[in-house]
Structures are given as structure tokens and as C-alpha cells.
Amino acid sequence: MVDLIKKAAAALKESKFNVVFTGAGVSVESGIPPFRGATGLWSKYDPKVLDLDYFHDYPDDAWFYIREIFYDFFGKARPNEAHRVIARMEQEGLLKCVITQNIDNLHQEAGSKVVYEFHGNSQILVCPKCGNKIPVGKVDLKTIPPRCNHDGTVLKPDFIFFGEGIPEAAYLNSFEAARNAEVFMIIGTTGEVMPASIVPQEAKRRGALIIEINPEKSLYTNDITDIYLPGKAGEVMTEIEKYLF
Ligand code: APR
């Protein structure tokens, strides 16, 4: 494994355009469970709570679970070593951007500046009617569903529900970065959810070297991955860090 770590670090140092693409696995060492797999959130909660129609038809029920999953539980999570090394790579000029499927804001909290949030962010609530955006810290979630103080409409977390479109800027910036990447590092994702899962495919198609970190194989591993580093994001990234700086 050390040889693979060294090979990955050498490629990242030599490249002029590195991109990191993350999924739920990068936040598991922060205490946030993944969505899929034996301990995944979808084995405990019904994904319908993130269905846009269900949210509009049953806002009380949807918000009960959204609060439990994304605010009561996620809210206490802090960035882990993987988030820290990724932010350091950007600070030291070794990373152009992070494309993340995560909504937990942990890349930003670790210091990453250029973060394309393919599925939005849980830290902001938005009024579907008037567009009013409120930091979740300014909303009392003891009373659910939270309502817009302008027009009383039920507020929605500013992350993507099933059935919702991807934020246009994040979509365009992510594919632009994938097209320009010389090294594209995939960390902690099954690669099962479209259209996010197409971004690494585009990087590969345009000639990027694909490095993947995941304790289990994903849909990418036997397909587009060039250097597969089997392991936990925080552990592997701290190993790579030793050979980067
Ligand atoms: N380090 C790295 N990877 C890990 C770790 C870890 N410590 N622990 C688990 N993983 C890997 C798992 O092996 C799995 O491949 O993280 C991945 C988590 O997969 P998912 O739970 O499917 O998460 P993700 O791929 O990000 O899901 C994509 O699906 O439900 C939607 O919108 C949601 O953004 C999410 C999207």
C-alpha cells in the first residue's frame, strides 16, 4: 500500500490541475453515517423523507425526520483529517477545487474555499415561495415545520431532494473542473447516484488519472480507477500528506 500511496502523492505533486470529488464516506470519520451499506441512513430511515412531493404533502412528518437526521445528528459533526488534508492541499496550491455530494458543510469548516456542492448545503433554509434564505442557526427548529417570516411558507433545507434539479452553477463548475483535471481523486462514494456519478466518468474520458480512496470497492474501482487505495479517507489522506509536503 505504501508504494501506491507514494505513487498517488507523486502524481498529485506533478499535476497542474488536481480535483477532489467526495461522497458521504469522507464524513464517516466525523461521525456521520453513509447513506448506503449495512449501517447506512437508508437502512434506518425511509428515503421518502427526501422526496420533494412527500415534503410538500407531509411537511410535518418530513421535517421531523429531516431535523433528526440532518440537524440533531449531523449538526454536531466536525471536520476530520481527510477534510483537513484536502483543505491544506488547496492552501498549498495542490488542489483546484472540491466537488462534493455532501451537504454537511465540513469541507468549508475545514478551510476549503472552492467547494462545488452538487447537492446543495444543509446550513441554509430557503423559502420556496419568496426565495428568502436563512442560516439554519437563526431558525428555532424546536417548532417544526419552520416557516418563512415573510409569507409563512414552510421553509426547505437548501439541499437537493430526490426529484429536484442540481444547482446549475455547481453542475457547470463540476463538469468544467472534471474536463480540465489532470488528476481526479474520488473519495468515499459508491458512484450510484446520477448525475453526480457522471462527473468522474467525464474526468476519465478527458484523460485524467483517477485515484480512489474507499474501504470497499465502488462502481468506479474496476472501471475507471487507476490507483485504488483501499482504506478510510482520514487514514489514507494523512498517509498521502506525508509525501505531498
Ligand atoms: N472513508 C472513505 N470511504 C468510506 C468510509 C471511510 N471511512 N466509510 C464508508 N465509505 C464509503 C463506502 O464504502 C461507500 O462507498 O463511502 C461510500 C458511501 O456511499 P453512499 O452512502 O452511497 O454515499 P454517496 O456515494 O455519497 O451517495 C451519493 O446519494 O442518497 C444520496 O444525496 C445522497 O449525496 C448522496 C448520494
Residue 61 sits in a domain whose CATH number is 3.30.1600.10
Q: How would you classify the pairing of strands 133-135 and 120-126?
A: antiparallel
If asked whether residues 48 and 152 sit together in one domain, one would say yes
Answer yes or no: do 194 and 240 share one domain: yes
pTM: 0.95
Question: CA-CA distances (angstroms) from residue 5 to 11, 23, 42, 244?
Answer: 10, 20, 32, 10
Domain end residue (candidates: 135, 159, 183): 159
pLDDT in tens, the chain (245 residues): 999 999 999 999 999 999 999 999 999 999 999 988 888 888 888 989 899 999 999 999 999 999 999 998 777 899 999 999 999 999 999 999 999 999 999 999 999 999 999 999 999 999 999 999 999 999 999 999 999 999 999 999 999 998 899 999 999 999 999 999 999 999 999 999 999 999 999 999 999 999 999 999 999 999 999 999 999 999 999 999 999 99
Domain identity same for 54 and 105: no
Given 56, 83, 107, 119, the catalytic residue: 119
> What cell does 144 get?
417544526
207 three-state secondary structure: coil
- Give residue 158 CA to ligand 1 midpoint distance, Å: 20
Residue type, 226: D
**Does residue 83 carry a catalytic annotation?**
no
Residues 213 and 144 in one domain: no
Is the minimum distance from the CB of 218 to ligand 1 under 6 angstroms? yes
For residues 175 and 206, membership in a common domain is answered with yes
Where residue 24 sits, what CATH number does that domain have?
A: 3.40.50.1220
- Do residues 173 and 208 both lie within one domain? yes
Place of cell 430511515: 45
- Closest Cα to atom 17, ligand 1: which residue? 189
CA of 36 to the centre of ligand 1 (A): 7
Same-domain pairing of 212 and 242: yes
Q: Which residues contact 176 (CB under 8 A, 6 or more apart)?
A: none
CA atoms within 13 A on the CB side of 17: 12
Ligand 1 centre to CA of 151 (Å) is: 37
Q: Whose CA is nearest to atom 23 of ligand 1?
A: 24
CB 146 near ligand 1, within 6 Å: no
112 & 88 share domain: yes
196 and 178 in a common domain: yes
Q: Measure 22 CA to ligand 1 centroid, in angstroms.
A: 8
Say how many domains are in the chain: 2
Task: Identify the domain containing residue 56 by its residue range.
Answer: 33-76+121-159
- Assess whether 57 and 144 both reside in one domain: yes
